[in-house]
Structure 1
Amino acid sequence: MADLTVDALVSNLDQVLAFVDGQLETMDCSMKAQMQIDVAVEEIYVNIANYAYAPETGKAYISVRPDPENASVTIEFRDNGIPFDPLAKADPDVTLSAEERKIGGLGIYMVKKSMDAMEYSRKDGQNILTITKKL
């Protein structure tokens, strides 16, 4: 398991992606899975950076846990920001045109569809969001 703590700023996205990709390189991760994971990491991290502490800044904690036995990886995001469960919101109606659809929610929907599992909990004042992807 590897951990990274950064100030939850969009400007730290490249550092977060480099950290995750560095961990994925030590596993048998296909390029397709890595790209899907990168999109998910970007979406989740940018949401933390933009909304968790607004208008202040706080920390974002990212953990990467490989599971060789199940050929998968779990990435956990934690923050001490305002409580927010992205899974509580209904999925957007993707049958509607972009003009007809409500703003927001599409990024988390894409994460849910591209990952094998996604879970949220609130514990000890922290938002904890985990994503799991089979490699």
Structure 2
Amino acid sequence: MPPALAMTIPPATEEVARLLDALEAFAEEAALPPKVAHRLSVVIEELAANVVMHGSAGPGAASFVAVTVHQEGDALVATIEDDGRAFDPLAQAAPDTDAALEDRDIGGLGVHFVQQMTRTLHYSRAGGRNRMVATLDLTG
């Protein structure tokens, strides 16, 4: 069984870079195929960056972002948690990718891309925490 990753960072841009370095080391140690390692990195970066950009200021701001990654059978399960105000990015309207660029609303594409890269993506709120659980295929 490959190793698991568990890391908690403050919700700051420079800390996301440190998280990505840890993910790279995890991917190497777990001997993940390059495509899987890349998908995992993009998924974690997008979800952690969303907390940093949208949930780390103002009333109810997040004070941490906790990430765990482990293997379950033929999949990687990545969990991203924060203690910020409740927000379900999956409840937002899907972006209109057919609309002209100048007619599109700003935002929403990151979560859309994450949904395309994962087998499943779920949001829940419990114990004052937002939790996103992404399941990724282990095969490239």
Inter-partner Cα distance in structure 1 for 2:78 and 2:25: 13
Q: Are 1:48 and 1:60, in contact at CA under 8 Å, matched by a contact in 2?
A: yes
Q: CA deviation at 1:14?
A: 1.5
- Give the alignment partner of residue 68 of structure 2, picking from 37, 41, 63: 63
Deviations 1:90-109 (A, max 9, x none): 21111112111111101100
Instruction: Say yes or no: does 1:24 pair with 2:15.
Output: no
SS at match of 2:53: helix
**Matched-pair identity in %:** 26
- Give the alignment partner of residue 127 of structure 2, picking from 107, 124, 131: 124
Inter-partner Cα distance in structure 2 for 1:95 and 1:35: 26
Inter-partner Cα distance in structure 1 for 2:92 and 2:62: 24
Q: CA deviation at 1:62?
A: 0.7
Inter-partner Cα distance in structure 2 for 1:112 and 1:89: 13
Deviates more, 1:125-134 or 1:37-46: 37-46
SS at match of 1:8: coil
Q: CA deviation at 1:2?
A: 2.8
Aligned residues: CA RMSD: 1.4
Q: Are 2:11 and 2:65, in contact at CA under 8 Å, matched by a contact in 1?
A: yes
Inter-partner Cα distance in structure 2 for 1:54 and 1:13: 16
Instruction: Say yes or no: does 1:37 pair with 2:78.
Output: no
Which residue pairs with 1:47 in the alignment?
50
**TM-score, normalization: structure 2?**
0.88
Inter-partner Cα distance in structure 2 for 1:53 and 1:42: 15
Q: Are 2:16 and 2:49, in contact at CA under 8 Å, matched by a contact in 1?
A: yes
Instruction: Say yes or no: does 1:97 pair with 2:109.
Output: no
Deviates more, 1:29-38 or 1:102-111: 29-38
Unaligned runs of 5+ in 2: none
Unaligned runs of 5+ in 1: none
**TM-score, normalization: structure 1?**
0.91
